[in-house]
Amino acid sequence: MMIGKDTPRRLSIFGSTGSIGQNTLDVVQQLGGRDSFDISVVTGNENVELLAQQAKASGARLAVTANDGKYEALKAELSGSGIAVAAGVSGLGEAADMEADWVMAAIVGTAGLAPTLAAARRGATIALANKECLVSAGDLFVDAVKAGGGQLIPVDSEHSAIFQSLDEAQRHAVERIILTASGGPFRTWSRAEMANVTVATARAHPNWSMGLKISIGSASMFNKALEMIEAKHLFDVRPDQIEVIVHPQSIIHSMVGYTDGSVIAQLGSPDMRTAIGYALDYPRRPQLNVERLDFAKLSRLDFEAPDEERFPALRLARTALERGGLQGAIMNAAEEVAFHAFVDERIGFLQMADIAEAVMDRMVGTGGARSMDDVFAADAEARRLAAEVVAINEKAA
Q: Does 328 bind ligand NDP (CB under 6 A)?
A: no
Among 125, 130, 218, 366, binds ligand NDP (CB under 6 A): 130
Cβ-based neighbour number of residue 293 at 10 Å:
12
Task: State the nearest-atom distance from the C-beta of 48 to ligand NDP, in Å.
Answer: 7
Tell me, rounded to whole angstroms, the distance of Cα 58 from its chain centroid: 23
Among 10, 131, 203, 247, binds ligand NDP (CB under 6 A): 131
Q: Does 249 bind ligand NDP (CB under 6 A)?
A: no
Q: Given the complex with ligand NDP, which of 67 and 170 has the nearer CB atom?
A: 67
Q: Does 68 bind ligand NDP (CB under 6 A)?
A: no
Task: State the nearest-atom distance from the C-beta of 53 to ligand NDP, in Å.
Answer: 12
**Bridge partners for 105 per DSSP:** 14, 128
- In whole angstroms, give the CA distance from residue 253 to residue 180: 6
**The residue type at 45:** N
Which residues have a Cβ under 8 Å from the Cβ of 27 and sit 6 or more positions away?
Answer: 273, 276, 277, 280, 286, 288
**The residue type at 248:** P
DSSP string for residues in 370-383: SSHHHHHHHHHHHH
Near ligand NDP by CB under 6 A, which window of 13-21, 26-34, 93-101, 384-392? 13-21
Kindly tell me the burial class for residue 151, based on how many C-beta atoms sit within 10 Å of its own C-beta (0-12, 13-18, 19 or more).
Answer: middle
Q: Which residue minimizes CB distance to ligand NDP? A: 18
Number of residues that bind ligand NDP (CB under 6 A): 28
**From residue 143 to residue 162, what is the string marking binding to ligand NDP with x (rule CB under 6 A)?**
-------------x------
Q: Does 228 bind ligand NDP (CB under 6 A)?
A: no
Query: Contact, 234 vs 152, CB < 8 A?
Result: yes
Among 9, 11, 15, 281, binds ligand NDP (CB under 6 A): 15
Task: State the nearest-atom distance from the C-beta of 267 to ligand NDP, in Å.
Answer: 17
Among 25, 30, 40, 44, binds ligand NDP (CB under 6 A): 44
Q: Given the complex with ligand NDP, which of 339 and 358 has the nearer CB atom?
A: 339
Return the closest-CA partner of residue 129 out of 90, 158, 93, 100: 158
Kindly give the residue spans of alpha helices, DSSP state H, lying in the chain: 19-30, 48-58, 71-77, 88-97, 113-122, 132-148, 157-165, 191-194, 199-202, 212-220, 222-235, 272-281, 295-298, 313-323, 327-343, 351-362, 372-396
**From residue 82 to residue 111, what is the string marking binding to ligand NDP with x (rule CB under 6 A)?**
------------------------xxx--x
Near ligand NDP by CB under 6 A, which window of 126-134, 175-183, 242-250, 361-369? 126-134
Return the closest-CA partner of residue 275 out of 226, 206, 210: 210
Q: Does 20 bind ligand NDP (CB under 6 A)?
A: yes
Among 29, 45, 53, 170, binds ligand NDP (CB under 6 A): 45
- Residues forming contacts to ligand NDP in the complex (CB under 6 A) are 15-21, 44-47, 66, 106-108, 111, 129-132, 156, 208, 210-214, 272
